[in-house]
Amino acid sequence: MPGAVPFPRHGAQVKLRYNGGSDAAAFARRSFLYRLPFFALTTEISQHETPDATGAHDAELEQLFGTTGPLGGAVGGFRPRRPQIEMAKAIADAIANHKTLIAEAGTGTGKTFAYLVPALLWGGKTIVSTGTKNLQDQLYLRDIPTVRKALNVPVSVALLKGRANYICHFHLERTLQNGRLTSRTDVADLREISRFIKITSTGDKAELSKVPENASVWNQVTSTRDTCLGSDCQYYNDCFVMKARKEAQQADVVVVNHHLFFADVALRDNGVAELLPSANTVIFDEAHQLPETATLFFGETVSTSQLIELCRDTQAEGLAHARDGADWSQVCGAVERAARDLRLAFPQDAIRLAAHQIASDSPFFEALEAVQDQLAELIEVLDSQAQRAETLEQCRVRAVELAARMGAWSAAGGGESTSASDPDKVLWVEAFASSLQLHQTPLSIAPIFSRQREGPPRSWIFASATLAVKNDFTHYAAQMGLLNEPARSWPSPFDYGSQGLLYVPNGLPQPNSPEYNDAVIDAALPVIEAAGGRTFLLCTTIRAVNRAAERLREEFERRKLPFPLMVQGEAGRTELLDRFRAAGNAVLIGSQSFWEGVDVRGEALSLVIIDKLPFAPPDDPVLAARIAALEKKGMNGFAHHQLPSAIINLKQGAGRLIRDETDRGVLMICDPRLINKPYGRRIWQSLPPFKRTREQDDVCAFFAQDREEDPPLAVAAG
């Protein structure tokens, strides 16, 4: 592979071996990593020979991560860590041999640097995919520049996001011209965007802090795959999306996020799907998120909102370019009315039902057939008028794609739970306040993802702090189709036995009890008070979040406790976390979005309370279908799927507590099933090795000792 050579001593003459691949230019660039003129290197090229590089980089990595190595001089507070070095060696070997590696690194190991150092030195063309856009920006703006500077390597790096993150010249101009915005806020935001587009080189909306990321006007000035005109657009040469993709094609390292990776690969769009064939190394950070993300994008969804948006766009384009071609108001209005009737087939605001759970006499099936009939009439009109404008052709393509996705539901009225066209996908509906979604979700992504990994040999690295259940990777490997691939785990360097305490209170009712949420708050209040605030209360449902917020407001006021209370939904996650850190004695209540990707170090967070074990709802249609499929194979759905999924999720929530070598705190898990169910032992044995107690007095004594010692803060790197 390009650049897969040992890191030589400064000034030494080396023999490079090029093992083929499409990027010989990248191999030539790598020669400059060694600070030697390219002509001074002896080059030997072989298209067939692939030497075993196992362990070839171990000595170099020991030096790089050592006390006197370049990382120590470039990163403040850096300390050599044996797990980090061993992880880097394993990743370097996987890169050198074009192998797959599942890598679990405990919190504090420094997994980011452990994969970046070998990737930047020997990874060739590398794609790094992260769990969120925030982590993506952190890698691109902070971590990769730090490592690149420390190693003094001339590696080019590009950041690639989804279309919705880049301003579209065409849609901005159309929005400015049509003057349909009525909100003063939207008008003001549009004015800021108009100024920004004149000075930005990237068009990335993250750079425009004056307009909130969730501002509604962004939908009017960005494109989607459906609404992009592609090379027919008059602004194609200035397109920010195309510029970002061109930079990504030319870069040595490309930073993406999981949603973009799977959306592009699944849809065969022109971003990651074009990058993948030339990539030598693919690294997934926060890899525990991949099963859920891949399930989302390897499935198919059509919503009533998409249908209504199609109708509005078609009517506008029809009146603009083919006013005499059809009664656009009538034909589009018929589809829109049918879509609204489909939503009204379910009177509830929030439901999730598998197709076979919908009653055969439900108005849903008749309404679905009406939508399909009206959509077919709209397509017939568009077939005759699409040649009159590119935007009308675009509407026609969208309509045909939506009709195709709905076609899978043709047999659903017969009580089928799986797609007529693909028995490995489950059909289910989800109703919201104003829309209805029809889903086709794969029962397993393993065979689909395995096909995506076919092709030229390359290394695939799956890294996270939570991939195993009691050091067993079987569940994750089965989900991703990686059952025969190597998996390794490196423990956290933290001393959990002295830094933390696991507390499971006595006397709580079972989680299905009506009194459970209030009992959790009653048990939590004295512990919160002993901790001096400084608490995350992590709930498994939004309903529990709201009830906990209501109770704690009342109790804080009644007891005159001076703890600021912050609740998910009252502000954005970043703003809430900033306020939490600044307060120093706050209590933050959140649901799933606060269970992972949150890093609060030091004394501001000393208590994490988890209300119950995070089992997925048993009535979830996809979960039910997967359990049924496992049981047909003679496996236990709970033991082989529900339990390991809950353990991995719980490990994420527990991981919010100890983030540094000097952090101290209490993990309070309120669910009595951790103690009184046979599977409870497997759960707590998968958690960090805290000391354990069931006595509230032990917790109060822990916090009393914590206040007496008052440990200083430290900086951790990597």
| Residue 643 confidence (pLDDT) | 95
pLDDT tens digits for range 500-527: 999 999 999 999 999 999 999 999 999 9
In whole angstroms, how far apart are CA 306 and each of 70, 72, 346, 499, 555? 53, 53, 18, 51, 45
Domains of the chain: which residue ranges? 1-51, 300-442, 496-709
Place of tokens 């909306």: 205
What DSSP assignment string belongs to 454-495? Answer: -SS--EEEEEES---BTTB-HHHHHHHT-TTS-EEEE--SS-
Tell me which of 46-50, 378-382, 487-491, 506-510 is least confident: 46-50
| Residue 413 confidence (pLDDT) | 53
Place of tokens 């080019």: 156
In whole angstroms, how far apart are CA 237 and each of 155, 260, 274? 26, 22, 19
Q: Can you tell me the distance from the alpha carbon of 282 to that of 119, in angstroms, rounded to the nearest whole number? A: 9
| Residue 7 confidence (pLDDT) | 36
For range 568-577, the mean pLDDT: 87
**What interhelical angle do 82-96 and 111-122 show, nearest 10?**
30
Q: How many CB atoms lie within 10 A of CB 605?
A: 27
**What is the token pair recorded at 163?**
């279309």
- H-helix or E-strand spanning residue 128: strand 126-130
- DSSP conformation class of 695: -
In whole angstroms, how far apart are CA 307 and each of 320, 395, 479? 20, 11, 33
pLDDT tens digits for range 284-307: 999 999 999 999 888 889 999 999
| Residue 700 confidence (pLDDT) | 94
| Residue 694 confidence (pLDDT) | 95
pLDDT > 70? residue 354: yes
Q: Can you tell me the distance from the alpha carbon of 379 to that of 402, in angstroms, rounded to the nearest whole number? A: 10
Tell me which of 191-195, 295-299, 647-651 is least confident: 295-299
User: Phi then psi for 483, rounded to 5 degrees?
Assistant: -60, -30
Q: How many CB atoms lie within 10 A of CB 387?
A: 11
Q: How many CB atoms lie within 10 A of CB 140?
A: 19
| Residue 179 confidence (pLDDT) | 73
* pLDDT category of residue 21 using cuts at 50, 70 and 90: very low
| Percent above pLDDT 70 for the chain | 88
Q: Can you tell me the distance from the alpha carbon of 3 to that of 121, in angstroms, rounded to the nearest whole number? A: 7
For range 669-680, the mean pLDDT: 95
Assess contact for 699 and 666: CB atoms under 8 A: yes
b/e per residue 406-421 (b: at least 16 CB within 10 A)? bebbeebbeebbbbee
* Total number of residues shown for the chain: 718
Q: How far is C-alpha 386 from the geometric centre of its chain's CA atoms?
A: 38
Please give the biggest Cα pair distance in the chain.
Answer: 82
Cα angle value 568/502/469 (rounded, 5°): 85
| Residue 712 confidence (pLDDT) | 42
| Residue 411 confidence (pLDDT) | 62
172, 174, 176, 178 alpha-carbon torsion, rounded to 10°: -150
Assess contact for 700 and 690: CB atoms under 8 A: no
CATH topology of domain 496-709: Rossmann fold (3.40.50)
pTM listed for this prediction: 0.85
pLDDT tens digits for range 538-570: 999 999 999 999 999 999 999 999 999 999 988
pLDDT > 60? residue 236: yes
More confident residue, 230 or 53: 230
Burial of 25: CB neighbours in 10 Å, binned 0-12, 13-18, 19+: exposed
Provide the H-helix boundaries in 123-236: 133-138, 144-151, 169-178, 184-196, 218-221
Assess contact for 706 and 499: CB atoms under 8 A: no
| Residue 572 confidence (pLDDT) | 81
Q: How many CB atoms lie within 10 A of CB 250?
A: 12
pLDDT tens digits for range 127-151: 999 998 888 989 999 999 999 999 9
Place of tokens 């039902």: 353
**What interhelical angle do 290-298 and 258-267 show, nearest 10?**
30
| Residue 590 confidence (pLDDT) | 94
- H-helix or E-strand spanning residue 157: strand 157-159
Q: How far is C-alpha 225 from the geometric centre of its chain's CA atoms?
A: 20
Q: Can you tell me the distance from the alpha carbon of 648 to that of 290, in angstroms, rounded to the nearest whole number? A: 13
pLDDT tens digits for range 93-119: 999 999 999 999 999 899 999 999 999
| Residue 513 confidence (pLDDT) | 94
- H-helix or E-strand spanning residue 530: helix 516-531
More confident residue, 164 or 178: 164
| Residue 267 confidence (pLDDT) | 66
For range 416-422, the mean pLDDT: 54
Q: How many CB atoms lie within 10 A of CB 41?
A: 16
Q: How many CB atoms lie within 10 A of CB 569?
A: 15
* Sign of CA pseudo-dihedral 523, 527, 532, 533: negative
For range 410-414, the mean pLDDT: 60
**What is the token pair recorded at 344?**
């009204």
pLDDT > 80? residue 450: yes
- DSSP conformation class of 627: H
Q: How many CB atoms lie within 10 A of CB 133?
A: 18
Assess contact for 530 and 545: CB atoms under 8 A: no
CATH numeric code, 300-442: 1.20.120
Asked, colleague to colleague, whether 300-442 and 496-709 share their fold, the answer is no
Residue 359 neighbours by CB under 8 Å, 6+ apart: none
Place of tokens 């650049």: 3
For range 182-194, the mean pLDDT: 89
What average pLDDT is seen over the chain?
A: 86
Q: Can you tell me the distance from the alpha carbon of 534 to that of 550, in angstroms, rounded to the nearest whole number? A: 19
Q: How far is C-alpha 48 from the geometric centre of its chain's CA atoms?
A: 38
Place of tokens 């898990």: 669
| Residue 42 confidence (pLDDT) | 26
Helix (H, G, I), strand (E, B), or coil: what is residue 329?
helix
Q: How many CB atoms lie within 10 A of CB 82?
A: 12
More confident residue, 460 or 470: 460
More confident residue, 25 or 162: 162
pLDDT > 60? residue 46: no
Q: Can you tell me the distance from the alpha carbon of 196 to that of 202, in angstroms, rounded to the nearest whole number? A: 10
Output 272-278 pairs: Cβ under 8 A, ≥24 positions apart. Answer: 272/127, 272/160, 274/245, 274/249, 275/125, 275/127, 275/160, 275/248, 275/249, 276/127, 276/455, 277/22, 277/455, 277/456, 278/22, 278/23, 278/125, 278/249
b/e per residue 429-459 (b: at least 16 CB within 10 A)? bbbeeebbbbbbbbbbbbebbeebeeeeebb
| Residue 443 confidence (pLDDT) | 92
